[in-house]
Structure 1
Amino acid sequence: MLTSLWFQGVRNLQEQTLQLAPGINRLVGPNGAGKTSVLEAVHILAAGRSFRTQQLRRVLTTGTAELWVGGEVDHRGSGAHRIGVVWDGTRRSRLDGRWMEGHATVAEWLPVRVLHAGSFELLTAGPDERRRLLDWGGFHAIPGYRVAWQRWRRAHEQRNAALRHGDRCGAREFERPLVEFGGQVNEARARYVIQWSAATREAAGVFGFGERLEGLEVSLRAGWDRERTLAEALDRSRSMDEERGFAQVGPQRADLDLRLDGRPAAEASRGEQKRLVTALVGGQARMLENESGRAPVLLLDDVVSELDRPAVEGLMRGLEGSGWQILVTAVEDAIPGLEQGRSDRLFHVKHGRLSVERRNSPPV
C-alpha cells in the first residue's frame, strides 16, 4: 500500500505531499486540473516510466530541469519503506535512502495497475503493451521470473549487437544462455496465462459482467513455431538473423491470443473490449493477491467516461469490497457504484493543487 506520495516538477502539479487512504481515494476536479498527473506520478514511482509518454522529459513542469517523485509503502510483515525516482536527463531510483541499479528493486515494493483511455487500445494495438502486461504479471507473481527474464534479455541484446556488427561467431556464443533462459521465460509465461485466464473470468463475475465474457479464451503465442523448441527455431532462423542483423524468433516476439466465442477479441464490440481489458487488469490483481497476499494499487483514470454506466457501477461495487487501494479520478463528485459517493478519502484538484475533504466538513 502507498501511504504517502510526494512530487515536484511533474507537469502542472504544485509540489505537495499527500497522505493516502488504504481503500478508495477519489480525485475530483475539472479537466486539466492535474488529476491524471497525480496518477502519472504514482505510475512513475512504481514503474519508472509514465503511462502517457515514453519520454520522461515530457512530464517535466515547464521551465524545470528535473522531476522528483517519492513515497512510502507499507506491507504487512515487511514494514515501511521509502522509495523514490528522480529524472534530470537520466532516471535514478532510490530505496530507503540508497541509490539502486535500475528500477526493478523499487518496483517490487509498489505493484501498480492502471486503466486509462489508452489501456482500452490493448486489444487492437501491436503486441508490445500486451507483452508488457504479461511480463508485469510474471515479475510480480512468479518466483524467479525476473532473474530468468533479465538473463534472457541480456543474451538477446548481446546477440543482436554482435549480429549488427557482422560478428557471426560472437553471436553464436550467446545462443546457449538465450535458449536456456528464453525457454524458462516462455514456460513461466504459459503457466501464468492459464491461471490469468481463469482469474480474468472470476474478476468479470465480481465486476458484474461475467456473462458477457463467458466465451473468453486466452492463450500464449510464444514467438516461434509451437511445433519446435526455441533451440530448433533459432537454428532455422540463424541465416536470416545474420542477414537482417537481429533475431527473428524468441520471447521478444511473444503475444497474447485473446478470443471471445472463438473470434479475435479485437473484432468484438467496443463495450466488450473495454470490459475484457478491465477484467484482465482485475484478474492480475486477484492473482497477485492470491500468490503473495498483497494486491496492486489500482489507478483508474476517468473510467466514468470510458465505460458505460452499468460497467462502471459493477466495477466500483466489485472494487469497493475488495480491500484494495484505489486512486480514481472523476470530473463530478458522484461515481456510479459508490454508495452515496462514499470513498475513504476525497481530494479536490484545482490548478495543480490538491485539498483533502474531511468527512462531514468542507474542503481544506
Structure 2
Amino acid sequence: MPLALLEFSGVRNLSPTRLTVHPRLNLVVGPNASGKTSLLESIHLLGTGKSFRTNRLEKVLHHDSDSLTVFGRCQIGTEEVALGFQRRDGENEIHVDGEKVDQLAALAQRLPLQIISPDTHFSFLKHARFRRSAIDWGLFHVEPEFFGLWSRYQRQLKQRNAALKQPRMAADAWDEALAETGEQIQKQRSQYLKRLKRYIDQYARQLLHDASMELRLRSGWRQGESLAQALNGDSARDREQGFTHSGPHRADLELLLGGFDARQEASQGQWKLMTLVLRLAQLEDFVDETGRDCILLLDDLAAELDAQRRARVMSLLASLPLQIFATATEQSHLDTSAWDDLKVFHVEQGNITD
C-alpha cells in the first residue's frame, strides 16, 4: 500500500487534518469549491514536491499561514517509510524517515503517483513539455539509470547554453557529450513507447470503440540526422540566439487517432479518452515492471466522461493494484460496484470527515 496515513496543514482552504486512508479506493465527496481537489493536491505535494494546479507554491498556502506541511506514512514492501514536505519562506524542505534530503526525486521514488484531472487534459493538449514529462515519468520509475542520464543531460545543456551566451567560449566543446547523452535518452524513450504499445491497444479497444490509437515520438532534432549532426548544423543559429535548438529537451509526443494527429482531428471527448488510455497503459506497465503499487489521483471524472464511460473506467481501474483517491460531488457519480471495500471522505468548507 503506497499511503497509509496522510497529515497536512496550511494547504489552501483545508483545515489541518490527519487521515487514515484505504489501501485501495478512497472517495472524496463534497460540493464544488469545498476543498476536494486541494486534498488531492496535498498528496501530489507529498509525492512530487509540486502542485498540479500552479507553478507557484505560494498560491497553495492557506491565507492564514506562512507555510504548508504535508506528512505521510507509506508501506514499501515490508518497510514503513515516513515522508515529509514543507514549504516556508519560498524554500522547500524534504524529509525521508526524519532525515533531511535535497532532491524532490527522493519523494517521487518512494511515492509513485499519477494525476488525471481536467487541468492535466488541457496541459497535455497545449504543451509539449507535459507530453515529454509523461514519457519520462514512466522511465524515471521503471528504468533505474534514467534519472542519472536525464540529470547529466540537463547539466550538459546548461553548460552549453551558458557558453553560447559568451562570445569567446567554444560551445561546441560540449557537443560530443551532449549528443551522446541525448541519443541515449532518445533510445530509452523509444523503447519505452514500444513496450507501452500492447497496453495502449488493450485500453483503446475498450474506451475508444476500436478506433486505432498510436504514439509517435518526435526526437527534438531533424529526422534523418544524428544529434551530433543537428548540433553542428545549428551552431550559427544557436550562437546567435543563445540557446540550444536541438535535443531531447525539444522532443514531443504525438497521439494519433486513426492515423491522424489527435490534437488536430480528435474531438475534446476523444482527446480526454486518449490521454486516459495513455495513463492507464503507463500505470499497468509500471505495476508489471516493478511489482509495486501506485497511487492514482482522479479528479472530477464525472465532468470528463458520461456515466457509461465512467463505469467502464472504474471497472478497469478495479483490476489494477492501485490506491485511488477520486473526487465527486455525489458518491453516486462513481460506480464502485467492482470494489469489495472503500472509504468515503466528506469535504465541506475545507473540513474533512469520514
When the two structures are superposed, what TM-score results if normalisation uses the length of structure 2?
0.95
Aligned match of 1:231: 228
Residue 246 of structure 1 aligns to which amino acid in structure 2? Answer: F
Listed as ranges, the matches of 1:148-163 within 5 Å are 148-163=149-164
Kept after mapping to 2: 8 A contact 1:166/1:245: no
Kept after mapping to 2: 8 A contact 1:275/1:311: no
Kept after mapping to 2: 8 A contact 1:201/1:210: no
Once the 2 structures are TM-superposed, how far is the Cα of residue 340 of structure 1 from its aligned partner? 9.3
Asked if residue 244 in structure 1 is aligned to residue 241 in structure 2, the reply is: yes
Once the 2 structures are TM-superposed, how far is the Cα of residue 341 of structure 1 from its aligned partner? 9.0
- Aligned pair in 2 of structure 1 residues 59, 227: CA closer, same or farther (>3 Å)? same
Aligned match of 1:256: 253
Asked if residue 272 in structure 1 is aligned to residue 273 in structure 2, the reply is: no
- Aligned pair in 2 of structure 1 residues 22, 178: CA closer, same or farther (>3 Å)? same
Once the 2 structures are TM-superposed, how far is the Cα of residue 51 of structure 1 from its aligned partner? 0.3
How many residues matched? 351
- Aligned pair in 2 of structure 1 residues 100, 185: CA closer, same or farther (>3 Å)? same
Distance, in Å, in 1 between the alignment partners of 2:41 and 2:247 is: 32
Distance, in Å, in 2 between the alignment partners of 1:167 and 1:14 is: 56
Listed as ranges, the matches of 1:13-32 within 5 Å are 13-32=14-33
Kept after mapping to 2: 8 A contact 1:27/1:328: yes
Residue 182 of structure 1 aligns to which amino acid in structure 2? Answer: G
Deviation per CA, 1:198-234: give whole Å up to 9, x if none. 22222345xx32534x411111100001211111111
Residue 332 of structure 1 aligns to which amino acid in structure 2? Answer: E
Asked if residue 41 in structure 1 is aligned to residue 42 in structure 2, the reply is: yes
Partner-residue secondary structure (3-state), 1:85: strand
Listed as ranges, the matches of 1:1-364 within 5 Å are 1-77=2-78, 79-88=79-88, 89-122=90-123, 124-169=125-170, 171-205=171-205, 208-212=206-210, 214-266=211-263, 267-339=265-337, 343-356=341-354
Once the 2 structures are TM-superposed, how far is the Cα of residue 194 of structure 1 from its aligned partner? 1.3
Q: How well do the aligned residues superpose, as a CA RMSD in angstroms?
A: 1.6
Distance, in Å, in 2 between the alignment partners of 1:285 and 1:244 is: 40
- Aligned pair in 2 of structure 1 residues 228, 27: CA closer, same or farther (>3 Å)? same
Kept after mapping to 2: 8 A contact 1:34/1:351: yes
Kept after mapping to 2: 8 A contact 1:315/1:337: no
Partner-residue secondary structure (3-state), 1:62: coil
Kept after mapping to 1: 8 A contact 2:208/2:273: no
Distance, in Å, in 2 between the alignment partners of 1:300 and 1:251 is: 30
- Unaligned regions of 5+ residues in structure 2, if any? none
Aligned match of 1:360: none
Once the 2 structures are TM-superposed, how far is the Cα of residue 161 of structure 1 from its aligned partner? 1.8
Once the 2 structures are TM-superposed, how far is the Cα of residue 251 of structure 1 from its aligned partner? 0.7
Kept after mapping to 1: 8 A contact 2:230/2:246: yes
Once the 2 structures are TM-superposed, how far is the Cα of residue 284 of structure 1 from its aligned partner? 0.6
Once the 2 structures are TM-superposed, how far is the Cα of residue 92 of structure 1 from its aligned partner? 2.1
Distance, in Å, in 1 between the alignment partners of 2:66 and 2:51 is: 17
- Aligned pair in 2 of structure 1 residues 248, 340: CA closer, same or farther (>3 Å)? closer
Distance, in Å, in 1 between the alignment partners of 2:53 and 2:248 is: 25
Distance, in Å, in 2 between the alignment partners of 1:108 and 1:334 is: 34
Residue 69 of structure 1 aligns to which amino acid in structure 2? Answer: V
Distance, in Å, in 1 between the alignment partners of 2:152 and 2:199 is: 29
Aligned match of 1:359: none
Distance, in Å, in 2 between the alignment partners of 1:248 and 1:291 is: 34
Distance, in Å, in 1 between the alignment partners of 2:135 and 2:208 is: 22
Distance, in Å, in 2 between the alignment partners of 1:166 and 1:296 is: 48
Partner-residue secondary structure (3-state), 1:290: helix
Kept after mapping to 1: 8 A contact 2:328/2:334: no
Q: For structure 1, which segment, 238-247 or 194-203, has the greater mean C-alpha deviation from structure 2 after superposition?
A: 194-203
Residue 141 of structure 2 aligns to which amino acid in structure 1? Answer: H
Once the 2 structures are TM-superposed, how far is the Cα of residue 157 of structure 1 from its aligned partner? 1.2
- Unaligned regions of 5+ residues in structure 1, if any? 357-364
Once the 2 structures are TM-superposed, how far is the Cα of residue 86 of structure 1 from its aligned partner? 0.9
- Aligned pair in 2 of structure 1 residues 85, 123: CA closer, same or farther (>3 Å)? closer
Partner-residue secondary structure (3-state), 2:73: strand
- Percent identity reads 34
Once the 2 structures are TM-superposed, how far is the Cα of residue 167 of structure 1 from its aligned partner? 4.4
Residue 184 of structure 1 aligns to which amino acid in structure 2? Answer: Q
Distance, in Å, in 1 between the alignment partners of 2:134 and 2:159 is: 24
